[in-house]
Structure 1
Amino acid sequence: QWGSYFGGSAWEYDPKRGEYYFHQFSKKQPDLNWENPEVRKAVYKMMNWWMDRGIDGFRMDVITLISKKVDKNGRLPGEEGSEIADLPVGEEGYSNPNPFCADGPRQDEFLAEMRHEVFDGREGFLTVGEAPGITPARNEHITDPENGELDMLFLFEHLDADCEDNTKWKPTKLELPKLKEILNGQQNAVSKAGWASLFFDNHDQPRIVSRWGDDSTKETRKASAKALALLLHMHRGTPYIYEGEELGMTNAHFTELDQYRDLESLNAYRQRVIETGVQDSESMMHGIAERSRDNARTPMQWDGSKYAGFTAPDAATEPWISVNPNHVEINAAAQCDDPESVHAFYKQLIDLRHRNPVVAAGDFQLLDESDRQVYSFVRALSSKDGQVAKRLLVMVNVSGEIARIPSETADLLSLDVDESHIVITTHDSAHTKLSLTKRELAPWEGVAIEL
């Protein structure tokens, strides 16, 4: 019995056809049979229709789940007569279909065919695929322009770094060395070919300032939002900013189950608590509060009015999900003209990527991989003759405590750091200069300096 990621069986009976159909997600989202060439033609026809209307490309949902692993007779694992054994049933009463659905044997073939049928002969477009089950090495192959598949992929391993037993609903404290190891692997895989997508937030993830930062006070929220932003944006690749991330929007902090709308969260509670009892109600509610997708789906906080500017204050109907109460303090209107705001800092990061070639295209080298507070690395850009022309040292204290700059990183610092060498900092330059002189970083302090 294969399970859906949104709870229950992944098979749904259709009385009109007298057959079952497969859905990895909602039963309203049947998996298409990409083995059928007529299905693929229909998909490409739809994509060309949109491209002809002038769109700039596609973000492709779970595109790496389109090729299924079947036996030589086309039978799925566990199907009667199949030569491929099914997986064991998990604690919730279902098997996980991911090993048979992720990065299947015809994945490259389908993506190359799509490129040919939709994008060949066109210019000025972008293709980015959501890529569960894809390794960094496979990311290199798929995003290498020579292979004619996709421009970028979203990998997810780094967002599983704080889950007990790889279970979403059992959140744990982030171990920074583990995050470094994962992101370093992603960076190294595309050092010679391919490209990386950089993201912490999206519509399926909790807010990063609540997840890995500290949203307990105004000061720590603002500081940790900037620190995490600098950390992400200084890696090599293309950063993606999810709505409200540039304001430091936080998790919803709901306390009651009926406040949630997310199908995944509600079904998970029913299945894990009510039907199987594999998790008690208190710990499950904690897990949902920390990890529910609804944390990213509360209305965008444009201003401090009743519905945060998402809906008119005197509207007859409320938004489909509650507005986060902290919208009175955290909103675009309050930050757009504030030079010290999270929003202003994101603008600095974007500007830096546009005008600094080292940030845009430099190589990546991780430092002090075992340090549990400071995440540091070097970005370097070589000249045409192979000599290193410019280098940036990035240091971020990913904690609420003062951190000593670890040895490998400290060895690269001059004894007297000049403020003119500070490219960007989460604090003011004078404060950061003093920190570096002491060989330490303040809580949630991040900086990039020229070497």
Structure 2
Amino acid sequence: METAFRRVEQQTVTRTWWKEAIAYQIYPRSFNDSNGDGIGDLRGIIEKLDYLEDLGIDVIWICPMYKSPNDDNGYDISDYQGIMEEFGTMEDFDALLQAVHARGMKLLLDLVVNHTSDEHPWFVESRQSIDSPKRDWYIWRDGQGGEPPNNWASIFGGSAWELDPETNQYYLHVFSKKQPDLNWENGDVRTAVYDMVNWWLDKGIDGFRVDAISHIKKKPTDTMLPSPDGKKYVTAFSMYSNIDGIHEYLQEMKRKTFANYDIMTVGETNGIEPEAADLWMGADNGAMNMAFHFDHVDIMRQSRLAPLDVVELKRIFDKWQQGLLETGWNALYIENHDMVRAVSLVGDENHYWRESATALGMMYFFMHGTPFIYQGQEIGMKNVPLPSIHDYDDVATKNEYFERIANGMSEIDSMQQVWGTSRDNVRTPIQWDASPHAGFSTVTPWMPVHEEYETLNVEAQAKDAHSILSFYKTMIRLRRAEETFTYGSYRDVLPDHRQAFVYERAFEDKRFLIVTNLTANPATVTLPDVVTGTLVLTNELDPEPIDTETFLLKPFEARLYRL
């Protein structure tokens, strides 16, 4: 019999610190409140750095903490070089940076330069008059017969254009109407952005996660889109995502900023394909080190309406794993601030909570790329359904809710959508312990904590050797100890199996097999050969040995073998 577990020819590897790192994403408003106002802050992050160091984190990525009116939770920036008052001061930030570096960790910031807040001084000046020196810093157009310049829809719902009554022109906003898009065609805009980027890098930060960067180039705004379903505003990704010419801007930004520092850069690159990897994240030509793609997220989100398509999920991961093995680098994740909790979406939070949270973790954590953990993921935090739309904070959630109501959906059906899709599901406070407000704050937090916080929290899991938190700590130690998980080849062993995700990592003389059942039903698995080796990690408390080619996996069972 031809064995599946054979030595694989290795690609050339270039070792660097950001490939070998374990990253952790912090949503500061919900991480830890140090001053008792119900809102997380920078000093609160400092208080929890020992926790992150003990977890095994190398890189911390903090969502925006810049000055902002907070229409989109900080992604609408009014001052790139100021700190939001609720989060602290620049002195607090400097103390955080120093404390992170003292522990041997790195700090990434969010770089949000597709748009600003409408309260940013640049936009305030731009909207003063049609003749403003900064008018062309944003994208302004005349309307057509009392309507917007075209029928492009915003990603957050409704028109992508907002009328400014003072000048009687419309400005473009791919996201919220309080997030006007910068005009990257204007060289002065780019220079101002680069100056700001270098200011932060000179301060000593270790890189950026670059927000919505695939949207900075737009197609001509006189383009109307067909509307086969009769909708007034039409999804317009093809008008402002990965448009020809974008790489001229990206390469210029790299030359004038990123390339001059030893940093880590991660692009949020909706809509790209592996074939474009060289320009986005190639070792020599890439504008950034790595990128977040969304293909697997789309498959996961479809599981709200039907069982998870495990075969398609594996196909997507294989496409990116193989596509970037030689050129580019993957940023690995299953949760972030724009998603819902993975264990609630594609796991089984009611019957197999621990099993599914750990299986999903193992499924992605040992792939080729740099793994990211979103705060609370490491303890299996769940979605938090709130009773009323008025309990929600997210601008996209509210826009979509009321748009569905306007289109005839009932309030209860629209709330069902909110409970399953709102980004606020991952923005509730971290559950640190069983004290009031889950130890996040001494007062009522800005968003409610999950009702199960007294049992589902960090403190309880830290004491349990079989907890989700303990499982993540073990995965992190394994990943750090074995170069195979960083630099090894990747191969999907059973691409057509409808329940099991089984893949092999190989590097030099070492091979590992990752075996996960991603369903709530037992899975019969037949491998091309008998697994011979050592069981290194499993989420089963009493694992049965595998000594045949065909064996049974329990619901959401996960195993890692050294072959």
Match of 1:444 in 2: 556
Q: Does 1:367 align with 2:493?
A: yes
CA distance in 1, matches of 2:544, 2:464: 21
Structure 1 residues 339 and 437: alpha-carbon distance in aligned structure 2, compared to 1, 3 A threshold = farther
Measured after TM superposition, the shift of residue 216 of structure 1 is 0.6
Name the aligned partner's letter for residue 43 of structure 1. V
CA distance in 2, matches of 1:89, 1:14: 30
1:423 to 536, 549, 563: 536
Give the number of the structure with larger relative contact order, counting CA–CA contacts within 8 Å between residues 6 or more apart. 2
Q: Does 1:48 align with 2:198?
A: yes
Alignment of 1:32-431 (within 5 A): 32-70=182-220, 76-78=221-223, 85-88=224-227, 92-123=231-262, 125-163=263-301, 171-217=305-351, 220-273=352-405, 275-277=406-408, 279-312=409-442, 315=443, 318-382=444-508, 389-405=509-525, 407=526, 410-414=527-531, 417=532, 421-428=534-541, 431=543
Q: Which string of whole-angstrom CA distances, capped at 9 and with x for unpartnered residues, describes residues 266-298 of structure 1?
A: 11111122x222x44444322221111011011
Q: Which string of whole-angstrom CA distances, capped at 9 and with x for unpartnered residues, describes residues 299-334 of structure 1?
A: 11111122111211xx3xx22211111111111111
Q: Show structure 1 runs of 4+ deviating over 6 A.
A: 435-438
Q: Which string of whole-angstrom CA distances, capped at 9 and with x for unpartnered residues, describes residues 49-105 of structure 1?
A: 1111111111111111101123xxxxx242xxxxxx534265653111210110011
Higher mean C-alpha displacement, 97-106 vs 432-441: 432-441
* SS of residue in 1 equivalent to 2:402: helix
Measured after TM superposition, the shift of residue 434 of structure 1 is 5.4
Name the aligned partner's letter for residue 537 of structure 2. I
Q: Which runs of 5+ in 2 are unaligned?
A: 1-150
Structure 1 residues 96 and 354: alpha-carbon distance in aligned structure 2, compared to 1, 3 A threshold = same
CA distance in 1, matches of 2:300, 2:261: 41
Name the aligned partner's letter for residue 398 of structure 1. L
Measured after TM superposition, the shift of residue 14 of structure 1 is 1.9
Aligned residues: 413
CA distance in 1, matches of 2:279, 2:476: 28
Name the aligned partner's letter for residue 423 of structure 1. V
Measured after TM superposition, the shift of residue 257 of structure 1 is 2.4
Structure 1 residues 91 and 379: alpha-carbon distance in aligned structure 2, compared to 1, 3 A threshold = farther
Does the aligned pair in 2 maintain the 1:139–1:194 contact within 8 Å?
A: yes
Higher mean C-alpha displacement, 301-310 vs 48-57: 301-310
Does the aligned pair in 2 maintain the 1:89–1:95 contact within 8 Å?
A: no
Q: Which runs of 5+ in 1 are unaligned?
A: 71-75, 79-84, 383-388
Q: Which string of whole-angstrom CA distances, capped at 9 and with x for unpartnered residues, describes residues 116-139 of structure 1?
A: 11123322x111111112122223
CA distance in 1, matches of 2:175, 2:399: 12
Does the aligned pair in 1 maintain the 2:278–2:286 contact within 8 Å?
A: no
CA distance in 2, matches of 1:311, 1:270: 32
CA distance in 1, matches of 2:229, 2:202: 46
CA distance in 2, matches of 1:364, 1:36: 43
Measured after TM superposition, the shift of residue 450 of structure 1 is 2.1
Does the aligned pair in 2 maintain the 1:400–1:444 contact within 8 Å?
A: yes
Match of 2:178 in 1: 28
Does the aligned pair in 2 maintain the 1:77–1:86 contact within 8 Å?
A: no
Structure 1 residues 201 and 156: alpha-carbon distance in aligned structure 2, compared to 1, 3 A threshold = same
* SS of residue in 2 equivalent to 1:201: coil
Name the aligned partner's letter for residue 211 of structure 1. L
Does the aligned pair in 1 maintain the 2:528–2:549 contact within 8 Å?
A: no
Structure 1 residues 381 and 325: alpha-carbon distance in aligned structure 2, compared to 1, 3 A threshold = same
Measured after TM superposition, the shift of residue 263 of structure 1 is 1.3
Structure 1 residues 31 and 87: alpha-carbon distance in aligned structure 2, compared to 1, 3 A threshold = farther
% of aligned pairs identical?
A: 36
CA distance in 2, matches of 1:162, 1:237: 20
Structure 1 residues 324 and 402: alpha-carbon distance in aligned structure 2, compared to 1, 3 A threshold = same
CA distance in 1, matches of 2:485, 2:286: 26
Give me the TM-score of the superposition, normalised by structure 2.
0.70
CA distance in 1, matches of 2:228, 2:196: 38
Structure 1 residues 432 and 291: alpha-carbon distance in aligned structure 2, compared to 1, 3 A threshold = farther
Name the aligned partner's letter for residue 330 of structure 2. A
CA distance in 2, matches of 1:140, 1:119: 16
Does the aligned pair in 2 maintain the 1:364–1:379 contact within 8 Å?
A: yes
Structure 1 residues 271 and 423: alpha-carbon distance in aligned structure 2, compared to 1, 3 A threshold = same
Measured after TM superposition, the shift of residue 140 of structure 1 is 4.5
Q: Which string of whole-angstrom CA distances, capped at 9 and with x for unpartnered residues, describes residues 196-252 of structure 1?
A: 1111100010000111111114xx111111110000102111111000000100000
* SS of residue in 1 equivalent to 2:437: coil
Match of 1:81 in 2: none
CA distance in 2, matches of 1:352, 1:190: 23
Name the aligned partner's letter for residue 481 of structure 2. R
Structure 1 residues 280 and 140: alpha-carbon distance in aligned structure 2, compared to 1, 3 A threshold = farther
